[in-house]
Structure 1
Amino acid sequence: MKSVVAPPHARRWAALAVLSASLLLVVMDMTILNVALPEISADLKPGSIELLWMVDVYSLVVAGLLVTMSSLGDRWGRKRMLLTGFAVFGVASVAVLWATTPAAVIAVRALLGVGGAMIMPSTLSMIRNLFTDARERATALGVWATMAALGGALGPIVGGLLLEHFSWHAAFLVNVPVMAVAIIAGLILLPESRNPNPGRWDALGTVLSIVGMVGLVYAIKHLAKEGLTYPPALITAAVAAVTLTWFIRRCLNRPDPLLELRLFRSGSFTSGTIAALTTSIAMAAMMLLLAQWMQLVMGYSPLETGVRLLPMAVGAGIFSPLAPAIAERIGARTVLAGGLVVAGLGFLALWALPLGYPSVAVSLLLIGSGMGSLAIASAVIMSGTPAEKAGSAAAIEETSYEVGGTLGVAVLGSIAATAYRSELPAGAAEAARESLGGALETAGAMGPSGASLAQQAQQAFNDSLVLTSAYGGALMLVAAAVIWWLTPKDLDLAKAEH
């Protein structure tokens, strides 16, 4: 029986502006960190593990809490959850003023992750409920995806501007006034929505999802860093396997699951999720490496780095809003798979062309243009999802992004680190072997005799960047083939279920 279509909300486009602005800020905050990392490292002197935790703890916390927060939002109210997330994000950003150690910065990033876990699924699930017309929903999700791309571009530029004039703390404090405005605008413009029949709260499922996801992300990080025989990571991986298997079985056997995993029975839903996961894997590692390459190899300032990352935003900004209209003409499957092919070619351009900023600019433009397909990925995921299950769909998509980011930094980042270390002299100092920043600092302390070490380290980093881009490109092309196979040929987003 076809569900009754709810009337469109009168202020849905104004509400979309608030939701998109909140997404813009969250994504900006993630990319600002990449630009601020060198100054944080110079000030606080974190070890390699602490540095990885600064990058990864946000994803770890978000991945662990997304399922719980999305389900709570379905019950408590998505507007309430979103505004609470804004408040937590703002408080965490102020707390950076007291962060004088690497551990304190990690704690601030973890609290930001709590706020992000409240914000991210709320924006998607509210869009699903605000826009009852499928064509309007696809357009709204295209705008949402464009804001994500712009956030990725504006983060380094805003971060660079702030770091030109202030300490690295400003990269966090910029969130505070924006969050205050978002709370006020959200109170006025956003409607409340929730699942009218949420069922009983699954307390055991909540614990299983948190333990399983945190354990999974921790295991990925440390197995990649320490090797496949590292006992704590192996134990954590076993715990994650048991708890997530238990959680999945519990969700499949309950009429009112914490997470509606039966959505994966749809090929289009699965293909959209794979697109989100693989893109995030490739992008997380490459953006981290490119930010370091621009500053530590090319010698650009943080602001110059941000400006030089703009071609990706230009490509995404052009194609994200156009993707739904293009999909109407040539099909959602073609746009989704084709976008990943274009992004994959962008990664392979770094591998095939002589490494320098011109080839990087070409690569970023292709990657950004391909990422425009993610507007379709969100629309495909939401197209066949009933409104009452929007929280589960949003949680699955955002979990894909967060787990993908962690996998990218852990796996592709480890490939880059291994390639970098393999090209350094066996007798190089441990600090030089840990990171390019450590090598340049060691070389500087050596005086004129350190020039050779600095040159070797920069060349090793160049080679590791090129190798990692080849792996990222191959991953995107494989994902494109899988998505072409999974996505129904006749999928029409304009005629999707309401």
Structure 2
Amino acid sequence: MTQEGTATYEGTAPHPRRWAALGVLSISLLLVVMDMTILNVALPEIAADLRPGALELLWMVDVYSLVVAGLLVTVSSLGDRWGRKRLLLAGFAVFGLASAAVLFADSPAEVIAVRALLGVGGAMIMPSTLSMIRTLFSDPGERAKALGVWATMAALGGALGPIVGGLLLEAFSWHAAFLVNVPVMVVAVVAGLVLLPESRDPSPGRWDALGTVLSIAGMVGLVYAIKHLFTEGPTTETVVSGAVAAVCLVWFVRRCLGRPDPLLEVRLFRGGAFTSGTLAALTSSVGLAGAMLLLVQWMQLVEGYTPLQTGLAMLPLAATAAIFSPLAPGIAARIGARTVLAGGLAISAAGLALLGFVPLTYPWVATGAALVGVGMASLAVASAVIMAGAPVAKAGSAAAIEETSYEVGGALGVAVLGSIAAALYRAGLPADAGPEARESLSGALEAARALDAPALAVQAQTAFTESVGTACLYGGLVMFAAALAIWRLTPARLDLSAVQH
């Protein structure tokens, strides 16, 4: 099952430059994940410089994830057909050019356009790194180790984003948060040309144009509805968006099930192990994205940390994830993949739930974050389970499903846990608190300064702190429930080192 110019499939000699190629894939993933979190640090300076309206500011944040979610299925299928190396290198080029284009962006609309282009590049890069690992490492044991490195880079990218962003913004303008990508992408293109082999599906079938439209409309509609339903309520816009998403995605799945050459191989969910790995990716993102967003706000608005100090304060999570992610496949080989997958999610759940039972002070937050990082290491095993559950010809579909799980889970986490925290925060305010104070903690602090009412600031900070602890507890409970479901779904004797296709 090979074709001229493509990477070999399992059962053949391993690629001689596979570990060097993994370095290229890992560094590119690190940068893409960092870019997602750097914007949070740069946003205040962008707002001060360009004076965007509330809607424009919202689109600066939202457009990246909407584009990524909408394109993941399409570009992953395109990589299976056109060539995964070609798609990845094209993604590097788009990401680098979009980052350089920020030099010409002097209005909110132009920054939004740059963020959308970065989303196109990110959608091409993120699943391509996974599918390339699937084809580079034909030996399942080596593949599991490689995915451990991949998971480590993802964890480090999320933690290093605020730190790197804070350092850059202390010395340069907000443009530096984008321009830092350019030299890395130039190096990635050159190294990728030399080190990466080409691979594709040898029998891709006909391109499904209608399925492409359905997948893009469905995923964009779903993520948009999730983001706005819990913050704005069931407005006409969110209800229509959710309804369009439901119709398009149901139609898309039925179409994929009825075709011999589907755009996305949804039949992969027939395997319990594949489903459990996907569920782990989804629920870990729900808990992590929602809780980390709230904790970052707590550190800055209650504890008074700078963005750089906030990034450094989250290092316990990155450190434990970086230590344990490469070890997770070896631990799974000793005690079983099911134990590591479900147990890791349970450890992360315990780290979040802990914050609902203790006073919310930094030592406890650091302890909870460290536990979350230990548990997140099991996502290396989740990736191995997902990729092992797919034939190499369908590596793009498997990668698209995993990355989509992370995107949807992140949107759900921010929306649901953020909404829970907001409701609890408002309930904890005094009855005479004004609308600005009820809108957000930052609004309450501004109102307290304007009215010279320090008691209002203290009450708002106390209410917010309590709401964050309770929201983290709910996030932990969701992850505990998922850990139990994963334990039941994953075959007890699943051995990643023995899985071949």
CA contact (8 A) 2:345 2:480 kept: yes
Match of 1:173 in 2: 179
1:218 aligns with 2:224: yes
| Greater mean deviation of Cα atoms: 47-56 or 217-226 | 47-56
Q: What secondary structure does 1:489 align onto?
A: coil
- Is residue 2:409 matched to residue 1:404? yes
Question: Structure 1 residues 171, 290: closer, same or farther in 2, change over 3 A?
Answer: farther
Q: Are 1:369 and 2:386 counterparts?
A: no
Quote the Cα distance in structure 1 between the aligned partners of 2:441 and 2:63.
Answer: 22
* Post-superposition CA distance 1:224-250 (Å, at most 9, x none): 12223x122112211111111110000
Q: How does 1:173-322 map to 2 (within 5 A)?
A: 173-228=179-234, 230-322=235-327
Whether 2:26 is the aligned partner of 1:27: answer no
Partner of 1:453: 456
Corresponding residue for 2:94?
88
After TM superposition, the score normalised by the length of structure 1 is: 0.95
Q: Is the contact made by 1:93 and 1:173 (CA closer than 8 Å) also made in structure 2?
A: yes
Query: Do the aligned residues in 2 keep the contact of 1:76 with 1:194 (CA within 8 Å)?
Result: yes
Structure 2 Cα separation of the partners of residues 395 and 217 of structure 1: 15
Paired amino acid for 1:333 = R
The answer to whether structure 1 residue 489 and structure 2 residue 492 are counterparts is yes
In structure 2, C-alpha distance between the alignment counterparts of 1:180 and 1:213, rounded to whole Å = 31
Cα 1:198–1:208, aligned 2, differ >3 Å: closer, same or farther?
same
Shift of 1:100: 4.5
- C-alpha spacing 1:57/1:225, structure 2 compared with 1 (3 Å): same
SS, match of residue 326 in structure 2: helix
Amino acid at match of 2:461: Q
Does residue 143 (structure 1) correspond to residue 149 (structure 2)? The answer is yes
- 1:376-415 counterparts in 2 under 5 A? 376-415=381-420
> CA–CA distance in 2 between the matches of 1:417 and 1:40?
25
1:402-431: CA deviation from partner (whole Å, max 9, x where unpaired): 111111112212222222233334554544
Structure 1 window deviating more from structure 2 (478-487 vs 461-470): it is: 461-470
Pair 319,106 (structure 1): closer, same or farther in 2 beyond 3 Å = same
Counterpart AA for 1:249: R
Q: Deviations over 1:180-201 (max 9, x none)?
A: 1111111111111111111000
Judge conservation of contact 1:342–1:366 (CA < 8 Å) in 2: yes
Contact residue 10 and residue 138 of structure 2 kept, 8 A: no
In the other structure, the counterpart of 1:124 is 130
Query: Within 2, Cα distance between the matches of 1:414 and 1:4?
Result: 47
The alpha carbon displacement at 1:94 in A equals 2.5
Indicate conservation of the 8 Å contact 2:10/2:139, yes or no.
Answer: no
Cα deviation per residue 1:266-324 (whole Å; 9 max; x = unaligned)?
A: 00000000000001111111222222221221111222111111000111011100000
Distance 1:36 1:442, change over 3 A: farther
State which of 317, 342, 351 in structure 1 corresponds to 2:356.
Answer: 351
From 425, 433, 437, the counterpart of 1:432: 437
Q: Which moved more, 1:365-374 or 1:216-225?
A: 216-225
1:99-130 CA distances to partner (integer Å, 9 max, x unpaired)?
45544443332221111110011000000000
Amino acid at match of 1:476: M
Contact 2:351 2:370 in 1 (8 A): yes
- Count of aligned pairs: 494
What's 2:169 paired with?
163
SS across alignment from 2:325: helix
Answer with 6-15 or 392-401: which moved more.
6-15
Work out the CA distance in 1 between the residues paired with 2:95 and 2:65. Answer: 14
Moved more, 487-496 or 103-112: 103-112
Give the TM-score of the pair, scaled to structure 2. 0.94
For the 8 Å contact 1:161–1:302, the answer to whether it is kept is no
1:420 aligns with 2:430: no
Moved more, 486-495 or 187-196: 187-196
Q: 2: CA distance between counterparts of 1:303 and 1:63?
A: 29
The change in CA–CA distance for 1:93 and 1:243 in structure 2 (over 3 A counts) is same
Distance in 1, matches of 2:280 and 2:231, equals: 26
State the match for 1:75 in structure 2.
81
Task: Describe the shift of the 1:435–1:209 C-alpha distance in structure 2 as closer, same or farther (beyond 3 A).
Answer: same
Q: Per-residue deviation at 1:482?
A: 0.4
Q: Counterparts of 1:445 and 1:36 in 2: how far apart (Å)? A: 26
- Once residues 463 and 101 of structure 2 are traced to their aligned partners in structure 1, the CA distance between those partners, rounded to angstroms, is 37
1:433 deviation in Å?
3.0
Letter in 2 for 1:200: R
3-state DSSP of counterpart to 2:201? coil
Partner of 1:469 in structure 2?
472
SS in 2 for 1:321: coil
- Determine which of 474, 478, 482 is the counterpart of 1:479: 482
Question: Cα distance, 1:367 vs. partner?
Answer: 0.3
CA drift of 1:92 comes to 2.1
Stretch deviating more after TM superposition (186-195 or 116-125): 186-195
CA distance in 2: counterparts of 1:239 and 1:347, whole angstroms: 34
- Structure 1 unaligned residues grouped into runs of 5+: none
Tell me the CA shift for residue 486 of structure 1.
0.1
Q: Do the aligned partners of 1:128 and 1:390 also contact (CA within 8 Å) in 2?
A: yes
CA distance in 2, matches of 1:78, 1:20: 16
Structure 2 unaligned spans of 5+: 2-8
Partners of 2:98 and 2:117 within 8 A in 1: yes
One-letter amino acid of the counterpart of residue 5, structure 1: G
Amino acid aligned to 1:170: A
Which of the numbers 49, 70, 77 marks the counterpart of 1:64? 70
